Amino acid sequence: MRALLPEEQEFWEKHKHLIPAQMAEAARKAKLDQFYLANRLKSYLKGKEKLPSLSAHKDLIWPDPVNIEQSSSEATAAYKATHFAYLKVIDLTGGFGIDTWAFAQQAQKVLHNEPNEMLSGVCRANFQKLNFQNIDYSQKDALDLLSQLPPSEGDTLIYADPSRRDEKGRRQSQLSQYVPDPSELIRLSLSLHYPLLLKLSPMDSLPEMMGLWPQLTEIHVVSVKNECKEILVFLKPNSNLPLKITAAEIGYNSLPFVFIPEEEAAAPMLCGALSIYLYDPFVSILKAGPYKLLASSIGLKRLHPFTHLYTSAEHIDQFPGRQFKVLKALPASTNQLLNWFPEKKALIVTRNFPISPEKLYLKLKLQPGGERFLFALTDHWDQRLFVIAERLK
C-alpha cells in the first residue's frame, strides 16, 4: 500500500474508468506495476460510492479492498459523529479510519488506534494529506489500550467496531465471537466510567443485545437508501434513563422514529382492512420493531399482526417508508392478474406470504420491472391477496 508514483499519476487518471483486469493489461503494456494498479482500482471502485468525497482526492493511499468493505461509509460515519459529539474520541479499532475522519471533524482530539502497522501508516499519511492536525495514532491491542486508560473525566467517548471475521476471514454470527469481545469492552468502559459506542452488524439481534447488556442507553438502527447498514449501541455510565431505540434512514429525507421498548409493548394492536393507501416501512423500522407504535402514532392500521404493511383512507405523507396508492386488490387465486400488467412486468413484494418474489415471478410469468407494484400478502382476515399499487413520488 503506497501512493501513486509520479509516472503512475497520469496513467491512473486516464484509466481509472476501466475494470481491474483491463487496468492490469494496460499497466503491463505501459511497463507499470500492474498488480498494484489493478488492486488499487478494486479498492477505488468499492470506495467510489461508499466514500465519495474521499474518492475525489487523487493523492490518497487506498488499502486492500477488504479494508474498504469493512469500513463505515461516509454517511454512516457522519451520523455517528453528529449524534455522539464529545470533545475527545478514542477509536479503538481504527481500520481505514473513516469513523476517525468523521469524528475528527467534530471533536477537538481523536485517537486512531490500529494494531496493523501498514494500515495505521496508510491512515497517518492520508490524514496528513487531508490536513488534519487533531488526530493522534496508536498501534495497541484494543482491550489493552482501554484497560490502561485513566478513569474518565467525562469528555471522552470510546468507540469500537469489533471485527465480525475470524483469523481465516470467516464471518462470525455470535456477538461473543467478535473481536474485541463487546461484553469485555462494555465491562472495561463502564468500570472506568467512559461512555461507549459500539458498531455492530445489521444482522445482529436487538432482543439478544438487550438481554446481554441491560445497561444499554441507546440503540440506533441505521439504514442508507433503505438498506440496513449498522446497529449502534451506546452505553452511558450511571444513566438511569430507559433504553431508547432510534430507527434512522439517512439516504432519504425522513425523520428518525424514536421509541422506548415499553411503549411498544403497551401500544394497542390496530389492524384493519386494506384501504386506499398502502405503506411499506423502511428496513430500519422493520429491524427496530416499533410495529404497533408506528400505526397508533400516525393513525394507520396494520394489515395483519405478521404482515408489516400499513394502510389508511387518507394519505399520510410523513410515513417513514415507501408510500403507495392501491389500484386493485384481488384474491391470490385470481386468473385476472395479468390484465393489470399488460407488459408482463411487475415489481413484486411479498409480506407474510408463502411464496418468495423469485418464485412468484416464475409462477405468474412476469419479469422484474415496470412501474406497477404487486404486493403478495396476508390480510387481517388471514386471506392471501394480490394488491396492485403505484408508488407515490
Residue ending a domain, choose from 24, 46, 68: 68
Residues 109, 208: one domain?
yes
Residues 247, 282: one domain?
no
Instruction: Output the pLDDT for position 58.
Output: 78
Each residue's pLDDT expressed in tens, for the chain with a length of 393 residues: 677 888 888 898 888 899 999 999 898 889 999 888 898 889 888 888 899 988 888 788 988 888 888 899 999 999 999 999 999 999 999 999 999 999 999 999 999 999 999 999 999 999 999 999 999 999 999 999 999 999 998 899 999 999 987 666 677 778 988 999 999 999 999 999 999 999 999 999 999 999 999 999 999 999 999 999 999 999 999 888 999 999 999 988 788 999 999 999 999 999 999 999 999 999 999 999 999 999 999 999 999 999 999 999 999 999 999 999 999 999 999 889 999 999 999 999 999 999 999 999 999 999 999 999 999 999 999 999 999 999 997
Instruction: Output the pLDDT for position 321.
Output: 96
The domain containing residue 150 runs over which residues?
71-253
Residues 206, 93: one domain?
yes
Residues 135, 63: one domain?
no
Residue 258 maps to a domain = no
Cell triple for residue 69?
A: 468493505
Number of domains into which the chain is organized: 3
Residue indicated by cell numbers 437508501: 225
Residues 211, 195: one domain?
yes
Instruction: Output the pLDDT for position 393.
Output: 79
Residues 236, 336: one domain?
no
Residues 196, 52: one domain?
no
Residue 151 maps to a domain = yes
Residue ending a domain, choose from 208, 231, 253: 253
Residues 231, 293: one domain?
no
Instruction: Output the pLDDT for position 87.
Output: 97
Give me the CATH number covering residue 232: 3.40.50.150
Note the Cα 348 to chain centre separation in Å. 24
Residue 259 maps to a domain = no
Q: Are 329 and 384 in contact (CB under 8 A)?
A: no
Element (H, E) at 363: helix 357-364
Q: Which of 287, 356, 368 is nearest to 320 (CA)?
A: 287
Residues 95, 226: one domain?
yes
Residue 272 to residue 301: CA distance in whole angstroms: 5
What is the phi/psi pair of residue 317, to 5°?
Answer: -70, -30
Residue 326 maps to a domain = yes
Residue 102 maps to a domain = yes
Instruction: Output the pLDDT for position 142.
Output: 97
Residue ending a domain, choose from 231, 253, 275: 253
